[in-house]
Structure 1
Amino acid sequence: MAGSTTLIVLLVIGCFISLIGVALIPVANKVIDDMVVDQIVLKNGSTGYENWIDAPVPVYIQFWVWDCINSLEVMKGEKPYFVQKGPYSYREYWPKENITFYDNHTISYTAPKTYVFEPSMSVGDPLEDKFTTLNVPLMTIVNLLQYESGPINGILALIMEIIGYDTFLTLSVHDILWGYEDPLLKLAHELNLMPSSYFGFYAGKNNTDDGEYVIYSGEDEVKKVNKIVSYKGQRSLDFWSDKYANMLNGTDGSLNPPFLKKDQKLWLFSSDICRSAYLILDKQYKYKNIKLYRYVVPPELYANVSVNPDNAGFCTPTVANCLPGGLLNGSNCQQNAPVVFSLPHFLYADADVLEMVGGMEPKKEEHQILFDAEPLTGASLFVAKRIQINIYTRPFPDIPFLKNFPKTYFPIMWLNESASATDKVVKDFKDKVQVPQKAATAVEYGLLAIGLILVITMTMILVKRRKVTQPCKLSINKNDADETSPLLKDQTA
């Protein structure tokens, strides 16, 4: 009897341990989630704050320039052909500065960027390597005068002849990036028509910031962490033609909210192209045993208005000025220069855009924008932000040297701003996130397993004992004689 009591007690204990294991699953998950929140929100001492101030992974920006190999033929109206040169790589540093915390759980800051050339990741010396490209300052001036009368354009043509202006220039990679003095801009600057006599797509951007940001710290609601409240003192943009296009959505990409879902959109704001954009889940995969979600900017974000009506606001000044699919008019945020943004090699652009130029080879894996993020913490292990800068060109009948110029979206260069997690970052992530997760899981399922083993084992023993101790039933053959019957029958009967 005592043995059976012990077995029953062990059975009850097994059930109790199993219930504890089951009950610990949501409790442990809540503990892990709270730990993630505590480390992600932007407050002094948190891991998220330290990583936000100064990225723990190296950030690089790489440039490829487009060398026009038939410039003389282009002047006669032929399609331009290009050869890609690059990459020319720079290490990018942009620690946060002027950080101020406010009582409403917001933070203001600036992020000056510094660029340092990285020869080991480059094909050559940007100071020495040259290429043939469009004279962008010239096309900017022409673009500004395109709605003026013929006589003004004639005066421009005369000025060009006097100062010896060329439609195409041979420049170094350094020139096109960091700036060179341009004779036409110098003249315009002396007449107080232009702010500078220098031109370069990154001229004046080294050791400078792109404006003040105000973001949410996430302390009151972690899903808002790093979400932009205002940029340059404004809660919306003013570059585009409707409220939707001018919305400031998402983060700056340096820190994502945690607990990412497969069906959610990841919103980002880029001051480079003066707009917000979203990414969607493309695939899931594992990197060094870390689960990652790959988010990419979908083709519909670049589609023309007939395919995606939501893009109407990016047609400036009105819908009548919509560009083909795959292009974004950047003139409003680039001092009225005829700049058109696209993905490298015109990825996702309409077929007629690609037909205007030769030498493009768009490839999704090499030219798309992507963020590879760990879904629990939102931490980005791989990032690639890719943009191509193009100049809109067309014939100008009143300007002799441009009267035959073809209509094109003339590619100048493309860039890839990227970051990849180092082995140290991967190890730190595993130590701080995966190790506690695995420990909690081991305790949860360990208790559940021990409890179930006890329950199953005790149940089997009790069932077996019951069978052994059950009374045996004797079977008697009805043909056998009863023990009280006489051995011999009465012969006298």
Structure 2
Amino acid sequence: MGRKCTAGCGVCGLVLGLLGALSLTLFHLVVKFELGKLMPLKVGTFAYPYWKKAPIPVYMQFYVFDVINSDEVIETGAKPSVLERGPYTYRLEKEKVGIKYNDNNTVTYRQITWYYFERNMSVGYDNETFTNFNIPYLSVAYLVRFEYPWVQELINYALAITGENLFKVVSVHDILYGYEDPLLKFVSQDIMGLFNMSHFLDPNFGLMYKWNGSDDGVYNVYTGSDDIFRAGFIDKWNYFKTLSFWSGKYANMINGSDGEFFGPFVDSSKDMLFYSSQACRSLLVKYQYTHSIKGIDVYRYLLPADTFACPAEKPDNVGFCSPDSNHCMASGVLNVSVCRNGSSGTLSFPHFLGADPDVIHGVDGLHPNSEQHSSFIDIEPTTGLPFQMVFRFQVGIHITNNSIIKGLHNIRSLHMPIVWFNESAYIDDDLANKFKARLELPMNIVHVMQIILIIMGSLILIGSAIRWFRKYKTVENDTEEKPLFTPVSLKND
């Protein structure tokens, strides 16, 4: 009976241990099954209401660069000197509209964004003014830089009529959301109007003109209904699978997600990709380290400092040279004129972080700092949900010397920052608690059960082995002490 009990315990321990070990493999399947019910982008799932309308506040902080020596720049070609002013903070509300589900497990939508000024989070009101280069002035000069001299003289005539200068005093609100520019109005109505072409040029200008209450294009993304690993990954943007802005095939690829989902079971050894309409391209982020947000472990992914590196430093970036590889900008600066109506606009990290030293030193008052000016995403690895997003970019303009256009005679070629912004979102307590209740707690229970099964199975198996060993030793000792036969005593009758 004892031997049968020991054997039974051993088998039981072995089975429990095997179940525990097997459950390690089954764990991902169970979690995948649960995520397949909770996370697809369709009505009725846990993720849908949060995907349809951002549940947490998103803020965008703007910092403007105020040029304090504009007269010296015009008269002697002095290096511009700037003071950073900000933040001027706006609260963003985002909601997806026009949602349409397709037969190939994708969903099409537009995302509308509204901006609301937050005075208590700002250094002042957004009607405060600052001085910087006149962007419409420079954009018009940029557009005609290769035209005949008489065309450029026509622009000089327009500048004289409108009284526009190389520098402009403008409010924070107007530089962002738009104002009617005298030069653009004159060129549109009085020059292009003569040829019935006024509809080609909007007389209003703003870095985010028409963005408030609008969208950044039509998205078509996978719902994850058939494959949860593809939830949120882009199939098409503006009805195309590739971009047409850039000169290279790689640069025009639309890779990765829409930035709101990154797929479950994130592998920290692999880089992540997402598409950014602000940058007019897909962006790559690299794993840095693991830390905790509200008691939940997340992976920190950083946008590398060489994101906008020149082809000599990063050959894959050759396709971002515009119009071709013979017209590459300095390292750290992306020419976005191809997706910004032909203006001389540029995109970089704030204060030209990671850029060529000549770019940084071309303007006095810049102090790039990786802690303050880098961009990153914190991703919960099991679900692929971003718990914190911080995107920091700088909008600038490329200025070149021009011997014909008024005001540009003494100007040295340089990259000039206009404004940089910090768009950030951070998971709140309510959403973190819901995540723990619906996702983290069940997964932790399953994980604990795995460990308990393995430990119990191991202990029972070890206990059975010890009992069997002791039993075996006892039998062996009894055998050694017992004589081979019992002597019979002889009695003398």
Q: TM-score, normalised by structure 2?
A: 0.91
CA distance, structure 2, for counterparts of residue 55 and residue 403 of structure 1: 49
1:57 aligns with 2:56: yes
Q: 1:318-337 deviations in whole A, cap 9, x for unaligned?
A: 11110011111111111111
1:177 aligns with 2:200: no
1:307-318 alignment, distance < 5 Å: 307-318=313-324
Deviates more, 1:275-284 or 1:380-389: 275-284
The alpha carbon displacement at 1:387 in A equals 1.2
Paired AA for residue 169 in structure 2: T
Aligned twin of 2:232? 226
Are the aligned partners of 2:35 and 2:228 in contact in 1 as well (CA < 8 Å)? no
CA distance, structure 2, for counterparts of residue 227 and residue 68 of structure 1: 42
Q: 1:273-324 deviations in whole A, cap 9, x for unaligned?
A: 2111211212222333322111122233321111222111111111111001
1:371 aligns with 2:374: no
Equivalent in 319, 325, 333 of residue 319 of structure 1: 325
1:119 aligns with 2:119: yes
Are the aligned partners of 1:86 and 1:123 in contact in 2 as well (CA < 8 Å)? yes
Cα 1:456–1:168 shift into 2, 3 Å: same
Are the aligned partners of 1:52 and 1:255 in contact in 2 as well (CA < 8 Å)? no
Aligned twin of 1:479? none
Q: Give the gaps of 5 or more residues in structure 1.
A: 477-482, 485-493
1:454 aligns with 2:453: no
Q: 1:337-375 deviations in whole A, cap 9, x for unaligned?
A: 110111111011111111211111111122122111011
Aligned twin of 1:148? 147
The alpha carbon displacement at 1:466 in A equals 5.0
1:304 aligns with 2:310: yes
CA distance, structure 2, for counterparts of residue 249 and residue 29 of structure 1: 26
The alpha carbon displacement at 1:401 in A equals 2.0
Aligned twin of 2:89? 89
- Percent of paired sites with the same residue: 34
Are the aligned partners of 2:294 and 2:429 in contact in 1 as well (CA < 8 Å)? no
Aligned twin of 1:471? 478
CA distance, structure 2, for counterparts of residue 474 and residue 459 of structure 1: 25
CA distance, structure 1, for counterparts of residue 61 and residue 245 of structure 2: 27
CA distance, structure 2, for counterparts of residue 475 and residue 3 of structure 1: 22
The alpha carbon displacement at 1:38 in A equals 2.5
Are the aligned partners of 1:316 and 1:322 in contact in 2 as well (CA < 8 Å)? yes
SS at match of 1:67: strand
SS at match of 1:471: helix
Cα 1:178–1:473 shift into 2, 3 Å: closer
Aligned twin of 1:38? 37
Cα 1:171–1:471 shift into 2, 3 Å: same
Aligned twin of 1:411? 417
Cα 1:467–1:272 shift into 2, 3 Å: closer
SS at match of 2:478: coil
Paired AA for residue 133 in structure 2: L
1:323-362 alignment, distance < 5 Å: 323-362=329-368
Cα 1:87–1:458 shift into 2, 3 Å: same
CA distance, structure 2, for counterparts of residue 196 and residue 271 of structure 1: 21
SS at match of 2:125: coil
Are the aligned partners of 1:74 and 1:406 in contact in 2 as well (CA < 8 Å)? no
Deviates more, 1:229-238 or 1:5-14: 5-14
Deviates more, 1:217-226 or 1:322-331: 217-226
SS at match of 2:284: strand
The alpha carbon displacement at 1:85 in A equals 0.8
Q: Give the gaps of 5 or more residues in structure 2.
A: 484-488
Are the aligned partners of 1:40 and 1:258 in contact in 2 as well (CA < 8 Å)? no
Query: What CA RMSD, in Å, does the superposition of the two structures yield over aligned residues?
Result: 2.3
Residues matched between the structures, number:
479
CA distance, structure 1, for counterparts of residue 482 and residue 21 of structure 2: 50
Aligned twin of 2:486? none
1:438 aligns with 2:444: yes
